[in-house]
Amino acid sequence: MSKLLEFIKKIEPKKGSLAHTLYDGFFTFLYTPDEVTHGGTHIKDGMDLKRTMVIVVLSLQLCYLLGTYNIGHQHFLAIGEHTAFLEGFHLKLFYGLGKLLPIWIVTHVVGLGIEFYYAWKKGHGIEEGFLVSGALIPLIMPPDLPLWILALSVAFAVWIGKEAFGGTGMNIWNIALLSRVFVFFAYPTTISGDEVWVAGLERASSGAAVDYGWWHHLCNVFFDWAGWSTFNGAAQVIDGFTGATPLSLAFQGGWEQVTSVYSETAMWWGSIPGSIGETSKPLIIVGALMLIVSGIGSWRIMLGMFLGAVVMGWLLNAWGATPFMEVPWQYHFYMGSFFFAMAFMATDPVTAASTDQGKWIYGFLIGFIGLIIRVLNPAYPEGWMLAILLLNTFAPLIDHYILQANISKRLKRA
């Protein structure tokens, strides 16, 4: 036994106390179980839920890096400073950190606080499910979301979406998406318009002032000492700036309206306004491949969702009744959060279909229905959040019919 392990064992608090609940959560995070599965199973493995969740969190880190930097990049585009992507690198990175860290901290303090409390009251170990939910929630939120709204949304998702159903592994709906849907329906005006997608502006109109605080003034002290460029407190929003997302532009005037503001390259690599972690498609695909290779994410769900969106895209192109319907089907993958939803939301093993055939049906319907909501719903030009939550509800029914069909086939053979 290592000296570190011996020391940790010596400081173990009394069982049944809140301190022991916190200790157990920290201990099992550091060390894998020292025993294998009991009983007559054929699998003898020390892998546990924490290790599985950590892999998912690691697969999100590239999205965190680009998302952090892009918060700053969009801010400086709005004020017409350091407009090249890598120009003013330190300013953009630290500006993004100043916005993302409070969102990350509030998410985890509220979510983990509720989980620790319930673990203590139930007298069992801390459940690991919020490791992933807590990593996902900041990435699907707008960068300028008020923190008190974020706290309410996380509390709602964990209390109503998970603990009311029995905790980790018992929830019907994806917890991160429940947090996002709470914000959308409870505070629709807060996340509507252009301001929420570009951080640090009083408003997204020409001449509006920037909103710098103590964090930026503190950074200026160090940047000035190093001889680097600093945050300009007198900066204003430039003429002709728009913080509109590609989806809102597509709804207004189709693909031509989108490309008049954003290039295809910018949309693909993610240097556009949007939710923090959902803009860069290549980095999301890297994370998706990590999940597939590790066996955590289902490639059947991902491919099924892609095919469902393609089929509906063809149908909408053939209909062509509005400019949004005429957007070429392949360009729907350049806009919005399709890849993020496909890789990290639809594949949630707790809320998704579990049978192989069911995964194909589940994924296909998400892609098919999600694109309908994106294009035909004037109040919400996206769709994947609502489509995934809808199919979360029907996932058990899909599996039920798949299993019943297999049972009927075997009975006929018997």
> What is the secondary structure of 168-204 as a DSSP string?
TTT-SS-HHHHHHHHHHHHSTTTT-SSGGGSTTBS-S
Contact 221, 227 (CB under 8 A): no
- Answer yes or no: do 341 and 229 share one domain: no
In a domain, 289, yes or no: no
Contact 212, 200 (CB under 8 A): yes
DSSP bridge pairs for 318: none
pLDDT in the model for residue 43: 43
- Write out the chain's pLDDT in tens, 414 residues: 566 666 666 666 666 565 555 556 555 555 555 555 554 444 445 545 666 788 999 999 999 999 999 999 999 999 999 999 999 999 999 999 999 999 999 999 999 888 888 877 777 666 667 889 999 999 999 998 999 999 999 999 999 998 888 877 788 999 999 999 999 899 887 777 667 889 988 777 888 889 899 999 999 999 999 999 999 989 999 988 888 889 989 988 999 999 999 999 999 999 999 999 999 999 999 999 999 999 899 999 999 999 999 999 999 999 999 999 999 999 999 999 999 999 999 999 999 999 999 999 999 999 999 999 999 987 776 889 999 999 999 999 999 999 999 999 898 887
In a domain, 286, yes or no: no
Neighbour count for residue 195 (Cβ, 10 Å): 20
Tell me if residue 131 falls in helix, strand or coil: helix
Among the candidates 219, 241, 263, a domain finishes at: 241
Contact 367, 308 (CB under 8 A): yes
Total number of domains constituting the chain? 2
Tell me if residue 209 falls in helix, strand or coil: strand
- Answer yes or no: do 185 and 325 share one domain: no
Task: Give me the domain span that covers residue 321.
Answer: 297-414
- Answer yes or no: do 90 and 237 share one domain: yes
In a domain, 246, yes or no: no
- Answer yes or no: do 233 and 303 share one domain: no
In a domain, 3, yes or no: no
CA distance 35 to 89: 48
In a domain, 42, yes or no: no
Contact 51, 32 (CB under 8 A): yes
Q: Percentage helix, strand, coil, to 5, in the chain?
A: 65, 0, 35
- Answer yes or no: do 102 and 171 share one domain: yes
CA distance 122 to 238: 55
Q: Computed over its alpha carbons, how large is the radius of gyration of the chain?
A: 23
List the Cα angle 200/201/202 in 5-degree steps: 125
In a domain, 132, yes or no: yes
In a domain, 395, yes or no: yes
Residue 142 identity = P
- Answer yes or no: do 219 and 347 share one domain: no
- Answer yes or no: do 115 and 22 share one domain: yes
Instruction: Name the maximum alpha-carbon separation found in the chain.
Output: 82
Among the candidates 203, 219, 241, a domain finishes at: 241
- Answer yes or no: do 231 and 303 share one domain: no
Contact 100, 324 (CB under 8 A): no
C-alpha dihedral, 332 to 337 to 339 to 345, nearest 10°: -140
- Answer yes or no: do 162 and 24 share one domain: yes
- Answer yes or no: do 64 and 148 share one domain: yes
Tell me if residue 227 falls in helix, strand or coil: coil
In a domain, 7, yes or no: no
Among the candidates 177, 209, 241, a domain finishes at: 241
- Answer yes or no: do 86 and 194 share one domain: yes
Burial class (CB in 10 A: 0-12, 13-18, 19+), 302: buried
User: C-alpha distances in angstroms, 375 versus 179, 193, 202, 313, 330?
Assistant: 23, 18, 30, 10, 14
- Answer yes or no: do 21 and 164 share one domain: yes
